[in-house]
Structure 1
Amino acid sequence: MAISLSWADGHNMPTAPAPSSRTTGAALRPIPLPHAVESAIWRGDALGTSVTTTVSTGFDALDAELPGNGWPCQSLTEVLQVQASVLEWRLLAPAMRTLVGQGKQIVIVGSPKPPHLPGLKHLGLDERHLVWIQADRPVERLWATEQLIKANAAGMLVSWLPQARQEQIRRLQVCAQRCDAPVILCRPAAAEHEASAAPLRLQVRLGIDWELHIHLLKRKGPPHAGGLTLPSVPGGLEAILTPRLRHPSRLIAARKRQGLAQDISPEFSHAVGSPSPRPPSGRSAAAH
């Protein structure tokens, strides 16, 4: 049973005219957007272009994989590693050196170990531009980090928050949108499997040849396949390492090959095509 709809005055509702092919084509034609709006739109199949400022990481390979080509300002960045206070200085030092050269302050909160001033000098950092806030309790670290973000008074803020919860990270991200400096949160590697509101997350590991292995866990863009290898010799060793010691993996591989050749027993010496130089056990060379 069909029921006809009518207006309040009792007249039937007028039907809309069927669109013609000409009007249909006009409706499907994309409407040009202003440049400011178009630049702010991000499509998920492309690497995001940051609408805020960034600070170069100092590593060209890493910059090429980050939206905006550097550490983002007005946003959180999570650096995950197995052991704290080991690799974050080497990863962040080039950007810190640039900011210090501009007269800006580097503020660190809750560092597990006191900053090593001679090591910072080797990295090119002036301790007069470094502010260290010692906060041992998790609630103190979280409170100090939030207040510093709101104050917007640092050139870069680095905070160690190993026990931060998801809602706390989300709150810091909301605050960081009004901060003109990169905000770096150092967290344990186990946090990789936790949800996070930080738009940029990366995991860093140490390589045997003084390099850093970077795995981008999250970024504004398509997933990053594989990893990045960044050369990073500690500042104090840069001038004293010989060419051989710059590649310890080659020395280790050579010693393993040498040890393997010495451990080959006489009964299997024919397998490599050369007899054993040692006489059989229990017999002297004169017996022959």
Structure 2
Amino acid sequence: MNTVFRSFPAMHHASTPLPPPRPPAGGLPAAVAAALWRADQLGAPVSAVWPSGFAALDAQLPGGGWPGHGLTEILTPHSGTLEWRLLGPALRSVCAAGQPVVLVGPPLPPHLPGLRFEGIAARQLVWVRADTAAERLWAAEQLIKAQACGALVAWLPQARAEQIRRLQVLAAGFDAPVFVCRPTRALRESSAAPLRVQAAVGLDWALQVRIAKRKGPPLDDALHLASVPGALAAVLPPRLGQPSRWFYREAIDHAVVRPSAQPERRHSAVH
């Protein structure tokens, strides 16, 4: 029998350490680099986003729009009006995609003719009447768990920090955007919501919007977003497009500058 000898490469001894693997180009694996977020940069979306309808606002929102898989707090001084002007364009796109928009506990009944001007179809609008804070919170939780809508807007003015945290945990597994409307005074409280947006009335039909919290560097300046209510956009004359200019001009035209009156001299009588 012929014996065949083969040579094998030398094996490393058990006590000899192997050299560490070289990292790929860029210093980080692709999966790690994609998940890495630096605090001085806007966070990248982990899911789809919905354009807000305001280019200036989208430029400051992580991912370029309203995000899914998380809560977005809308903070206003008076509930029931500014939320529609801020969220109307996004809700319009949800309805255009054939998805329902569910409202939980709005402070005022939805005004269907006005919403129609915003492009929100009545047949795709679901109003959940919940009178107490517990009912509103329970309804919002069940809708998120069931993923039963294309967008959820819930008014929770009395929600506590632990309740917001629970909603955020549930919303992390929900594809659609979840908006929680709260009063402006809630800014003094901590919140687990990754995005908090404060809205107020500005000049000339504008919305003054501040991003109080986002996944990214703080934004100190307020955004001024043109937002003429849908019912007025078709009938508003150009003269009233910027009413502050006309009010200021009329105030100057009607101002009358009068010289200051000289004090009357009194002479004492000499007897």
Tell me which interval the TM-score lies in, with the shorter structure as reference length: 0.7 to 0.9
Aligned residues: 244
Say whether 1:224 aligns with 2:219. yes
From 38, 60, 73, the equivalent of 2:33 is 38
Instruction: Show the 5 A alignment for 1:87-236.
Output: 87-236=82-231
Query: Which position in structure 2 is the counterpart of 1:51?
Result: 46
Does the CA-based 8 Å contact 1:39-1:51 persist in structure 2? Answer: no
Q: CA deviation at 1:258?
A: 2.4
> Which of 251, 258, 265 matches 2:253?
258
Mapped partners of 2:49, 2:121: distance in 1: 22
Where structure 2 has 5 or more consecutive residues not aligned to the other structure, the ranges are 1-14, 262-271
How big is each residue's C-alpha offset from its partner over 1:78-135, in whole Å with a ceiling of 9 and x where there is no partner? 0000000111101111111111111000000000000000001111111000000011
RMSD over aligned CA atoms reads 2.1
1:244 aligns with one of 233, 239, 244: 239
**SS of equivalent residue, structure 2 residue 191:** coil
How far the C-alpha of 1:255 sits from its partner, in A, is: 2.4
* Inter-partner Cα distance in structure 1 for 2:60 and 2:183: 22
* In structure 1, distance between residues paired with 2:151 and 2:86: 13
**What secondary structure sits across from 1:244 in the alignment?**
helix
Aligned 8 A contact 1:109 1:134 in 2? yes
1:79 aligns with 2:74: yes
Q: Deviations over 1:219-274 (max 9, x none)?
A: 00000120111111011110111111111111221122123x22x22447xxxxxx
SS of match in other structure, 2:91:
helix
Alignment of 1:57-76 (within 5 A): 57-76=52-71
Q: Distance in 1 between matches of 2:80 and 2:96?
A: 23
**Cα deviations by residue, 1:25-47 (Å, 9 ceiling, x for unpaired):** x89x974312x331111011111
Task: List structure 1 segments (4+ residues) > 4 angstroms apart after TM superposition.
Answer: none
Q: TM-score, with normalisation over the residues of structure 2?
A: 0.85
CA distance in 2, matches of 1:32, 1:219: 25
Identity %, equivalent residues: 52
Which runs of 5 or more residues in structure 1 are unaligned? 1-15, 18-22, 269-288
Rounded to whole Å, the distance in 1 between the matches of 2:252 and 2:80 is: 35
Give the letter aligned to residue 199 of structure 2. Answer: V
Deviations 1:119-173 (A, max 9, x none): 0111111100000001110000011011111111110000000000000000000
Higher-helix-fraction structure = 1
Q: Could you say what secondary structure the match of 1:256 adopts?
A: helix
CA contact (8 A) 1:56 1:63 kept: yes
